Amino acid sequence: MPVSSVPIPDVSIILPCAGFGTRFGAPYAKELHCLAPGVTVLDRSLEAVVDLAESGLAVRVVVVFGAHKLDTVKYLARYARIFQLVFVYQDDAAEPGLDGAIRSALPMTRGPVALVLPDIVVSGDGSAGSLRAAVAHTEVAGWTVVAAEESDPGTLRQMGALTVVEGSGDVTVKAAAEKHGKMIAEHSATTSPAA
């Protein structure tokens, strides 16, 4: 029996790309929106994942997609030499939304798992290695969050929010709300802050 040349991943990334982006209102997926020549929102959101791979870790990216996201699937081919790309179709049988995307992807993951949203860019001081630091911290805390401080109510309604409490050098997540205020979690976890 032949031995696979694909290394066992050290870390897995869930990249949910099955949403419809109705609020964006463009004829293309919002993660493919061009920020600069040859650079999309997706490229910027994957910068920290590229950093993980460049640090020497074997990274598996599990992309959850729907039939309307074939342009995104095609675009991701540029990362085939950097990550192990695994594609999982999220159909109507799966729970809709982010919960269903995560449930669809989890069986394909190995090692610590990070959720990276394809339309969110974390930038600023400390952001370059924020995902690498968060993955390292999962060995201690079990799970961790990379988040940016935000106080604008409009942005929080549009992007979702975490309720955090500071104490003894760590920041603990007490609750999380998805877009439009829908409660999605009430857990405690240590955060790795980014700007």
Q: What is the DSSP string of 33-80?
A: -EEETTEEHHHHHTHHHHHHHHTT--EEEEEEE-GGGHHHHHHGGGGT
The per-residue b/e assignment along 96-124, b for 16 or more CB within 10 angstroms, e otherwise, is ebbebbbebbeebbebbbbebbbbebbee
Does residue 160 have a pLDDT over 90?
no
- Which tens digits make up the pLDDT trace of 180-193? 444 333 333 444 44
Measured CA to CA in angstroms, residue 48 lies from 34, 82, 194 at distances of 18, 12, 11
pTM over 0.75, yes/no: yes
The rounded distance, in Å, linking the Cα atoms of 186 and 97 is 18
The average pLDDT across 157-171 equals 68
Q: List where CATH 3.90.550.10 sits in the chain.
A: 1-121
- 43-64 pLDDT, tens digit per residue, is 999 999 999 999 999 999 999 9
d(CA 125, CA 108): 33
Give the model's pLDDT for residue 190. Answer: 42
- Between 19 and 152, the more confident residue is 19
Q: Are strands 170-177 and 183-185 parallel, antiparallel or unpaired?
A: antiparallel
- Looking at the chain, the whole-number percentage of residues with pLDDT higher than 90 is 37
Q: What is the pLDDT of residue 159?
A: 64
Q: What is the DSSP letter of 162?
A: E
Instruction: Give the CB-side neighbour count of residue 15, counting CA atoms within 13 A.
Output: 29
Residue 144 has pLDDT above 60, yes or no: yes
pLDDT, tens only, 77-133: 999 999 999 999 987 777 778 888 988 999 999 999 988 889 888 877 777 788 888
d(CA 130, CA 43): 16
pLDDT at residue number 2: 59
85-94 pLDDT, tens digit each: 999 998 777 7
Handedness of CA 24, 30, 36, 38 (dihedral sign): negative
Q: Quick check: 149 and 75 in contact, CB under 8 A?
A: no
Q: Which CATH number fits domain 1-121: 3.30.930.10, 2.60.120.10, 3.40.50.720, 3.90.550.10?
A: 3.90.550.10
Q: What pLDDT was estimated at residue 188?
A: 37
Average pLDDT, the chain: 80
